[in-house]
Structure 1
């Protein structure tokens, strides 16, 4: 399976995972407190500089960000049509900034560290009896892990269609993509249960809390 994590030696790579996740959380909240195009534009520029400092490269960045950029463009265009140009620009800048920050975090935080931090953050909720922290961390980690895998399967289906001379359409792609993704999810869930990973994490968390 592919991974969103990219090896590197940039400043953001060397920063511990927790400050990066806190930065993403604070930025996500702050961006929705303003509608100023100037402030949002400055934030988008800063996020672009941060992402470019990772050394991922233009080609790889285009592959990683293109699907999300297309979605953001559609949402911004719809907002512009239904509301106003100012609101459409604000949505475009806000979502672009969030995308770049999230991409920078996911590219510099290994999935294991991501799971550990989410599990730690969910422990207060576990003490209240609301959730199991280890399951929350594992679930979030698997979602992030599956993002590049789903994109890879989409590209494989598209290439298969083109090789057979078939026109690539969403109606003919979505069903096999969902089936393949659900099948992989079932296989991973079965492997997790067979190895007792969730039980091991829960036992480890219980020992740590004592």
Structure 2
């Protein structure tokens, strides 16, 4: 089984508290949408790429982690170019690209348990109002972060299995077994959680 998305290291980002990183990430996200100057957004994107690279992650692994999201960002930027203008498309591209790289840097330098602790603290006011259980929500987020690499690896294994049999890796032929296996894993995890009494409701 794969490890989580975080990688070991002693960089400044690794030593920074999860709470501060999340606060800064949210603040930067809000600030980026107030910026419309393309060259300024390019500068932010370069800084974000530098921060991501400073985590110690290899170039190939760094690209593998963000390629699907960046491809989606590229499609959104292309749509803006077709329906609006080139400057709008570039602004969207570098704005969202910066957010993706910053989020990847935070994820790579923050453990799943740290994410769960901070989410539980953040949701405690709602728990006091009886709207939810903070521990349940933080557990759900932790499971998503923990098993996202596992699902991506399984997707790759299914594609390789198709190629080994000389079959073309059609999207439906890959996604159907992936969904079935993921749902089976979800049932197993849910039973394990309930057996250990992690959820009271």
Q: TM-score, normalised by structure 2?
A: 0.94
Alignment of 1:101-112 (within 5 A): 101-112=102-113
The aligned residue for residue 96 of structure 2 is 95
The aligned residue for residue 183 of structure 2 is 182
SS in 1 for 2:64: helix
Q: CA deviation at 1:175?
A: 1.4
Q: CA deviation at 1:29?
A: 1.4
SS in 1 for 2:5: coil
The aligned residue for residue 49 of structure 2 is 48
The aligned residue for residue 195 of structure 2 is 194
Alignment of 1:64-79 (within 5 A): 64-79=65-80
Alignment of 1:1-210 (within 5 A): 1-2=1-2, 3-199=4-200
Residue segments in structure 1 that go unaligned for 5+ positions in a row: 203-210
Q: Deviations over 1:111-163 (max 9, x none)?
A: 11110100000001111222211111111111112221111111011101110
Q: CA deviation at 1:96?
A: 0.8
Structure 1 residue runs of 4 or more that deviate by more than 4 Å after TM superposition: none
Rounded Cα–Cα distance in structure 2 between residues aligned with 1:183 and 1:153: 13
Rounded Cα–Cα distance in structure 2 between residues aligned with 1:83 and 1:143: 35
**What root-mean-square deviation, in Å, do the aligned CA atoms of Structure 1 and Structure 2 show?**
1.5
Q: CA deviation at 1:21?
A: 0.9
The aligned residue for residue 206 of structure 1 is none
Q: TM-score, normalised by structure 1?
A: 0.90
The count of residues paired between Structure 1 and Structure 2 equals: 200
SS in 1 for 2:57: coil
Residue segments in structure 2 that go unaligned for 5+ positions in a row: none
Q: CA deviation at 1:186?
A: 1.4
Rounded Cα–Cα distance in structure 1 between residues aligned with 2:84 and 2:97: 19
